[in-house]
Amino acid sequence: MKTVIIIAGPTAAGKTAKAIEVAQHFDTAVISADSRQCYREISIGTAKPSPQELQAVPHYFINSHSIREEVNAGLYERLALDYAAEVWKDRDVVVMCGGTGLYIKAFCEGIDNIPAAPTEVRSAIQDRYEKEGLAWLQQEVQEKDPAFYAIAEIQNPQRLMRALEVLYTTGQSITSFRTGNTVQRDFHIIKTAITLPKEQLHANIARRVHQMVADGLLEEVRAVLPYRDHNALQTVGYKEVFDYLDGKLSWDEAVEQIIIHTRQYAKRQLTWFRKDTDFKWFEAGEGLLEEVKGLIKT
């Protein structure tokens, strides 16, 4: 039976190295499940696999798109299924590795087809949020989409902005596009996840951010300044440097903010994946390869 081995977990936990080890054992490819590493223009701030790692095994969904393109979970579902089918022509196993929980969920279970918003609508909402803050966003959603507000994570600005995007674009609540139907896939899914003790994960995050700075993060962000309103750049590691370039933060403050926000992101990733009890967790990835070898007789 065709099988996908998913290796998930928080940022800086060591997923990439483990995915390459597993893919090499099964002589197969890795499909990235990272919502930012697909963009060609941003490599340092997204902690892409190194050129050596990319050469070690074939990778899909790395450097596959431009930040000018709209990439979302619906598109990812279609692409990842196509990538897997391509690998399965010659292999029985494919590895999926990444920390974008919604993309992994879309691949495993399907996703509702929620309309994308035009760039100008998204930019207008983003600008208003930046000027007036979370309180405005909450009030706007509460007044205009009370059905969604009643069930929303009201402290999560990205979710609230997405609801407004759909409302302004279609005139309908985002809830009207959600069916909650789970698609039954015709392949075997093995869900694994890597974690680390909190102190070690935080140390890895700080070390990685300082390495990004040394590798030229500031120059990378300057190069994409013309596209700063694009969705791909509304993210940790880029927003803080934009604030530095706007004079809102000193450089040291910007770097410290990236570390803090990356820790917060890692915590959200852990929360997301732990909600899915099908994931089996491995500290530092130890024992993961042996586990999946036992589940797949080659």
Q: How far apart are CA 214 and CA 248, in angstroms?
A: 22
Total-model pTM: 0.85
Residue 61: the pLDDT is 98
Specify if 209 maps to a domain: yes
Domain co-membership, 132 together with 194: no
Domain co-membership, 199 together with 157: no
Would you state the structure tokens that stand for residue 247, as one six-digit string?
């004079």
Domain co-membership, 52 together with 159: no
Domain co-membership, 158 together with 270: no
In the three-class reduction of DSSP (H, G, I as helix; E, B as strand; rest coil), residue 139 is classed as: helix
Specify if 76 maps to a domain: yes
Specify if 120 maps to a domain: no
Expressed as residue numbers, the domain containing 46 is 3-112+181-295
CATH code where residue 260 lies: 3.40.50.300
Domain co-membership, 172 together with 68: no
- Could you tell me which residues come within 8 angstroms of residue 154 by beta carbon, excluding any fewer than 6 positions away? 138, 141, 160
- The count of structural domains within the chain is 2
Q: How are beta strands 188-195 and 280-283 bridged, if at all?
A: parallel
Domain co-membership, 193 together with 257: yes
**Residue 216 marked in a binding site:** no
Percent of the chain with pLDDT over 70: 99
**Residue 12 marked in a binding site:** yes
Residue 297: the pLDDT is 65
Specify if 118 maps to a domain: no
Domain co-membership, 25 together with 133: no
**Residue 110 marked in a binding site:** no
Domain co-membership, 190 together with 77: yes
Specify if 99 maps to a domain: yes
CATH code where residue 164 lies: 1.10.20.140
Domain co-membership, 248 together with 167: no
**Residue 11 marked in a binding site:** yes
Residue 143: the pLDDT is 94
Q: What are phi and psi of 80, to 5 degrees?
A: -65, -35
Residue 168: the pLDDT is 94
Specify if 147 maps to a domain: yes
Residue 180: the pLDDT is 67
**Residue 9 marked in a binding site:** yes
Domain co-membership, 104 together with 188: yes
Specify if 117 maps to a domain: no
Per-residue pLDDT of 203-246, as tens digits, reads 999 999 999 999 999 999 999 999 987 878 888 999 999 999 99
Would you state the structure tokens that stand for residue 181, as one six-digit string?
């139907």
**Residue 16 marked in a binding site:** yes
> Virtual CA dihedral for 223, 242, 266, 208, nearest 10 degrees?
50
Would you state the structure tokens that stand for residue 117, as one six-digit string?
């918003």
Answer with the one of 177, 201, 216 that is the final residue of a domain.
Answer: 177
Domain co-membership, 86 together with 143: no
Kindly give the parts of the chain with pLDDT less than 50.
none
Q: How far apart are CA 13 and CA 285, in angstroms?
A: 9
Answer with the one of 162, 177, 192 that is the final residue of a domain.
Answer: 177
Domain co-membership, 214 together with 93: yes
